[in-house]
Amino acid sequence: MKTFCGRANPTTGAMEWIEEDEDYDYHQEIARSRYADMLHDKDRNMKYYQGIRAAVSRVKERGEKAIVLDIGTGTGLLSMMAASAGADFCYAVEVFKPMANAAVKIVEKNGFRDKIKVINKHSTEVTVGPDGDMQCRANILVTELFDTELIGEGALPTYEHAHKYLVQEGCEAVPHRATVYVQLVESKRMWSWNKLFPVRVEAEDGEKIIVSPSEMENCPGVPSVCDIQLNQMPSSDFTILSNVVTMFSVDFSKPVRSASTYYRVQLEPIQSGKAQIVLSWWDIDMDPSGTINCTMAPYWVKSTSAFQWRDHWMQCVYFLPNEEPVVRGDAVYLTAWRDQYSVWYKLQKAREEENKADVHIESPVCRCQAHLLWNRPRFGELNDQNRTRQYVRALMKVLKTDSVCLCISDGSLLPVLAHCLGAKQVPYFFLANHLEDKIKIIEARPELLTSSHLEDKKISVLLGEPFFTTSLLPWHNLYFWYARTAVTSHLASNVTVLPQSASLHMIIVEFQDLWRIRSPCGTCEGFNVQTMDDMIK
Ligand code: SAH
């Protein structure tokens, strides 16, 4: 059987369907890069190894056999650590087939064939019993199922199931516990990634302000996590409003509940300002005493973090539903809501009645459509006043009162800017400012544009930022070139095309850290993972 996979063609912008074999997994490339990054994460690997050794010793000291369940084994790394630490047997579960196949080879190459059984299943499909995948329940549970948001890869339901069906009561868990920390900040830069600021346009007849419609203003945005390298964020880009507080923690050695819930903390602002953003990160304690700790704390919380680079775990930026003024010393309540896979935040001045039954737990869902069209960097770009000013300057040079403009760009503000600056008619696009009769949205690909779409008018100004949502790489925006050619027959003989030309610049660099995500690893904590290297290469 073959599967059809959708791919955007960067030249034509069109969605194309490509036939792939049944067992082709189109997440492979992503998966590979993340795996390499994890294998290069010395701090993570060392601490897992220490935690696993300690857990195996504790079980052995009790005179028990050490039976390990490693959920999401990937390359088999954590199982090999456990076997080397003296575990009697390891069940290594991996759902992703190409990885499970690699794990089998790696385990064999390292001589652990008798100690480690690779099970190519999702953990919730694993059976226990004489004829099952596992002979008996495990007494050591090892996993690395965490993303930057901790729970985004489904760690909670996986743990919940494992405690019910796959491990013994009172089992050892590595990691033993995870703790989520938060800090309240004001940051115009980060805030600009989630809401459209009013756009100021200096026209000849005075300043005009483009505002976003109220449904956009009040839209809660999307639930997908905004994960960034906070260690790359200069301190001048945000103002800290609160100390770091613990939001919640999860003990992995006890039954875990994945059902939606909320956690609330009281914060005392240490600085007055506009609360806009909750910064968040987590740490994991590999052992119950908390002496083996692996933390994602940013540089201003832990100075050595500045040198601890990793791309598979970063820090989270959460946007509060609305900005709230806070006053130094006046307590506020921060609530973290979570479902099985994501977390979101709300800030309140007074303590709300804690009647759990009344509490409404619904993750943010975009109501305004803009968050579905524009990703966070794109919001930031549209909010860049300097950039807007340059477009306005360019438009003022080329627009005349009788200009007929055609804009080719996805979700662009150019048509609104052009209208503010006096263009007669702007086909294509858009939204709030009651411009429906001035700006016409044409739902057609450039090559399918007809004169009737344009009411038989010829285009005097062809505009583009250019920006296209299908562009994955910077030069994919050169699609504008293709589109411009496709609409040639509709252009007036003296047409102005903006942008007029483009040049592609490149430079060869050496990365300090980023090279790691695609680089072969050779051996990891003494284990030969070359099979993985072959996949990465
Ligand atoms: N344990 C390895 C790899 C961690 S990446 C290491 O530490 O280096 C997490 C892996 O878990 C991925 O390969 C993913 O496919 C797998 N996975 C996630 N949830 C799973 C589940 N519930 N059952 C089986 N595999 C799972």
- Answer yes or no: is pLDDT of 15 > 70: no
Structural domain count of the chain:
3
My answer on whether 291 and 368 are in the same domain is: yes
153 tagged catalytic: yes
Lowest mean pLDDT among 47-56, 240-249, 308-317, 437-446: 437-446
Confidence at residue 355, expressed as pLDDT on a 0 to 100 scale: 52
What percent of the chain shows pLDDT beyond 90?
69
Distance, in Å, from the CA atom of 285 to the CA atom of 316, rounded to the nearest integer, reads: 19
The mean per-residue pLDDT over the stretch 311-338 comes to 95
Measured N-to-C along each axis, helices 28-39 and 97-109 cross at an angle, to the nearest 10 degrees, of: 40
Cα 344 to ligand 1 centroid, rounded to whole Å: 24
Distance, in Å, from the CA atom of 254 to the CA atom of 474, rounded to the nearest integer, reads: 48
My answer on whether 259 and 393 are in the same domain is: no
172 tagged catalytic: no
Lowest mean pLDDT among 99-113, 324-338, 358-372: 358-372
The mean per-residue pLDDT over the stretch 443-461 comes to 92
Q: Which atom of ligand 1 lies at the shortest distance from residue 96's CA?
A: 15
Q: Ligand 1, from 33, 95, 164: best to mutate by most atoms within 8 Å of Cβ?
A: 95
Confidence at residue 314, expressed as pLDDT on a 0 to 100 scale: 96
pLDDT band at 517 (very low <50, low <70, confident <90, very high): confident
Active-site residue, from 16, 19, 125, 153: 153
pLDDT band at 28 (very low <50, low <70, confident <90, very high): low
Between the CA atoms of 335, 185, 387 and 204, what dihedral angle is there, to the nearest 10 degrees?
A: 90
Cα 183 to ligand 1 centroid, rounded to whole Å: 30
Confidence at residue 427, expressed as pLDDT on a 0 to 100 scale: 52
My answer on whether 344 and 396 are in the same domain is: no
Which DSSP symbol is given to 353?
P
**pLDDT tens track for 82-119:** 999 999 999 999 998 888 999 999 999 999 999 999 99
Q: Which H or E run contains 50?
A: helix 42-61
DSSP string, 159-201: HHHHHHHTEEEEEEEES-EEEEEEEEEE-HHHHTTTSPPPEEE
Q: Which of 376, 406, 437 is the last residue of a domain?
A: 376
Confidence at residue 27, expressed as pLDDT on a 0 to 100 scale: 47
Cα 145 to ligand 1 centroid, rounded to whole Å: 6
Tokens of 87: 């575990």
Tokens of 34: 């993340």
Q: Has residue 100 been placed in a domain?
A: yes
**Structural domain boundaries enclosing 270:** 178-376
Q: Check: CB of residue 306 under 8 Å from CB of residue 230.
A: no
My answer on whether 283 and 359 are in the same domain is: yes
CA torsion sign for 75, 79, 83, 85 is positive
Q: Which atom of ligand 1 lies at the shortest distance from residue 123's CA?
A: 23
**What's the mean pLDDT when you consider all of the chain?**
90
Residue of minimum CA distance from atom 19 in ligand 1:
72
My answer on whether 183 and 302 are in the same domain is: yes
CB neighbour burial string for 438-462, b if at least 16 within 10 angstroms, e if fewer: bbbebeeebeebeeebbeeeebbbb
Please return the burial class of 70, using the count of CB atoms within 10 Å of its CB with bins 0-12, 13-18 and 19+: buried
My answer on whether 361 and 253 are in the same domain is: yes
The mean per-residue pLDDT over the stretch 305-332 comes to 93
Active-site residue, from 94, 144, 186, 465: 144
Q: Has residue 511 been placed in a domain?
A: no
DSSP string, 129-142: STTSSBSS-EEEEE
Residue of minimum CA distance from atom 15 in ligand 1:
96
Distance, in Å, from the CA atom of 439 to the CA atom of 308, rounded to the nearest integer, reads: 50
CA torsion sign for 81, 156, 371, 297 is negative
Residue of minimum CA distance from atom 7 in ligand 1:
144
Q: Check: CB of residue 369 under 8 Å from CB of residue 425.
A: no
Among 352, 339, 348, 332, smallest CA distance to 156 is for 339
Q: Which H or E run contains 59?
A: helix 42-61
The residues facing 181 across adjacent strands are 246, 281
My answer on whether 227 and 112 are in the same domain is: no
Cα 146 to ligand 1 centroid, rounded to whole Å: 9
My answer on whether 403 and 364 are in the same domain is: no
**pLDDT tens track for 209-267:** 888 888 888 898 998 899 999 999 999 999 999 999 999 999 999 999 999 999 999 99
Q: Which atom of ligand 1 lies at the shortest distance from residue 39's CA?
A: 8
My answer on whether 127 and 184 are in the same domain is: no
Going by C-beta distance under 8 Å and a sequence separation of 6 or more, which residues neighbour residue 495?
Answer: 458, 459, 460, 461, 462
Its pTM stands at 0.91
- 63 vs 17, higher pLDDT: 63
Confidence at residue 5, expressed as pLDDT on a 0 to 100 scale: 66
> Residue 268 belongs to a domain with what CATH number?
2.70.160.11
pLDDT band at 125 (very low <50, low <70, confident <90, very high): very high
Q: Has residue 169 been placed in a domain?
A: no
Confidence at residue 475, expressed as pLDDT on a 0 to 100 scale: 85
Give residues (CB < 6 A) around ligand 1: 38, 71-75, 77-78, 93-96, 99, 122-123, 144-145, 153-154, 158
The mean per-residue pLDDT over the stretch 139-162 comes to 97
